[in-house]
């Protein structure tokens, strides 16, 4: 049995086409969604992500501004810029590309973003709203994962869902979104014992731990949906996920590739959040 490949490129292209149509209609009503992206320093991976986001904005018709700040930018300078963008009517969404340089406290910066413009959904107000199930924005990666699960035709309700990883950006919100759809959710992490015994019971397995090829075939239940959020480099410097794709795809019922799975979906969801922000601001 070979797993059905959940093609994030294809699904994200469809979502972006739908959004482009929506943006066109909004512009006719005098509403122009706008995204400001701030990048501090010159982390090569961050630069790639920022370029992809700008390209997606152009495809969908979202106005975008980029603020590329030098590594030595002070925390106060960054906070001043965020405050300026909070007040700027042309900007409906603000995104600060992580990681930030060591001398800047990420939390302070993220908390300074107006929750109505927080298209990454990292502000405590938005995190709290996800918790109670009354939210405008969902973090882009978990939102993309939910779209791919929907695309696979899998009903979440009543299913055993296992999330490996408990980060604030992916693991925790992912668990909440699965729970909101009536999944029975287990969150595993570095202190979890007998990990493979837990993952083997998962109908839906989300790997979001950032360790190359950590999830092997013997950890996957036959026919499971396997979603690989990881973005790593293997020993040859080639992009790979948290799942040993070649092995797992022989066992799983559906699986996301890396690259081309969750990555493109994350950017499509950012576009969706930005359009939504333009409607609620």
Residues 116, 117, 118, 120: which is the catalytic one?
Answer: 120
Is 234 one of the catalytic residues? no
Q: What is the pLDDT confidence band of residue 2, given thresholds at 50, 70 and 90?
A: confident
Measured in whole angstroms, how far is the alpha carbon of residue 269 from the centre of its chain? 7
Residues 251, 173 within the same domain: yes
| Domain identity same for 158 and 111 | no
CA 196/CA 124 separation, integer angstroms: 33
CATH number at 78 reads 3.40.50.10860
Domain CATH code at residue 152: 3.40.50.720
From 16, 97, 221, 242, active-site residue: 97
User: What is the average per-residue pLDDT within 175-197?
Assistant: 98
Q: Identify whether residues 64 and 151 lie together within a single domain.
A: no
Q: Which residue segment(s) compose the domain that 253 sits in?
A: 139-263
Residue 2 maps to a domain: no
Looking at the structure of the chain, the number of domains it has is 2
Q: What is the mean pLDDT of residues 196-217?
A: 97
Catalytic residue among 53, 116, 213, 221: 53
HSE-CB at 17 with a 13 A cutoff on CA atoms is 6
Q: Is residue 61 part of a domain?
A: yes
Q: Are residues 90 and 34 in the same domain?
A: yes
The pLDDT > 90 percentage for the chain reads 95
* Residues 35 and 78 both lie in one domain: yes
Q: What is the predicted pLDDT for the residue at 151?
A: 87
145-185 residue pLDDT tens: 999 999 889 899 999 999 999 999 999 999 999 999 999 99
Dihedrals phi, psi of 208, to nearest 5 degrees: -140, 60
Strands 184-188 and 160-164: parallel
Q: Where are the alpha helices (DSSP H) in the chain?
A: 8-28, 44-60, 75-86, 106-112, 124-132, 140-151, 171-180, 195-199, 245-251, 262-280
- pLDDT of amino acid 237: 87
Average pLDDT over residues 11-36: 97
Within 8 A by CB and 6+ apart from 100, the residues are 40, 41, 78, 106, 109
pLDDT the model gives residue 281 = 72
213 catalytically annotated? no
| Mean of per-residue pLDDT scores for the chain | 96
Tell the burial category of 82 from Cβ atoms under 10 Å away from its Cβ (0-12, 13-18, 19+). buried
- pLDDT tier, 210 (very low <50, low <70, confident <90, very high otherwise): very high
53 is catalytic: yes
Percent of the chain with pLDDT strictly greater than 70: 100
With a cut of 70, say whether residue 256 has pLDDT above it: yes
Distance CA 9, CA 17 (A): 12
Compute the average pLDDT of residues 106-119: 98
* CB-CB contact of 140 with 266 (8 Å): yes
Band of residue 1 on the pLDDT scale cut at 50, 70, 90:
low
Q: Are residues 255 and 170 in the same domain?
A: yes
In-domain check, residue 6? no
Span 218-236, pLDDT tens digits? 999 999 999 999 999 988 8
């Amino acid at each position: 049995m070979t797993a059905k490949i959940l093609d994030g490129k294809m699904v994200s292209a469809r979502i972006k086409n739908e959004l482009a149509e929506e943006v066109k209609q909004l512009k006719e009503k005098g509403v122009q969604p706008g995204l400001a992206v701030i990048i501090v320093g010159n982390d090569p991976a961050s630069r790639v992500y920022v370029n992809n986001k700008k390209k997606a904005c152009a495809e969908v018709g979202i106005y975008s501004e980029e603020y590329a700040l030098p590594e030595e930018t002070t925390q106060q300078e960054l906070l001043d810029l965020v405050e300026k963008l909070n007040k700027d009517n042309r900007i409906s969404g603000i995104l600060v590309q992580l990681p930030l340089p060591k001398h800047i406290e990420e939390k302070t910066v993220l908390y300074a973003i107006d929750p109505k413009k927080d298209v990454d959904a990292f502000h405590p107000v938005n995190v709290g709203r996800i918790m109670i199930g009354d939210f405008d924005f969902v973090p882009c990666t978990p939102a993309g994962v939910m779209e791919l699960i929907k695309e696979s035709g899998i009903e979440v309700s009543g299913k055993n869902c296992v999330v490996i990883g408990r980060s604030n950006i992916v693991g925790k919100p992912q668990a909440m979104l699965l729970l909101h759809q009536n999944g029975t959710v287990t969150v595993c992490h570095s202190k979890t014992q007998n990990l493979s015994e837990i993952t083997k019971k998962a109908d839906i397995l989300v790997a979001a731990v950032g360790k190359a090829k950590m999830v092997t075939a013997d950890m996957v239940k036959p026919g499971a949906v396997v979603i690989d959020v990881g973005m790593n480099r293997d020993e040859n410097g080639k992009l790979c996920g948290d799942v040993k794709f070649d092995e797992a795809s022989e066992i799983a019922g559906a699986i996301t590739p890396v690259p081309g799975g969750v990555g493109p979906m994350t950017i499509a969801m950012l576009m969706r959040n930005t359009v939504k922000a333009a409607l609620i601001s």
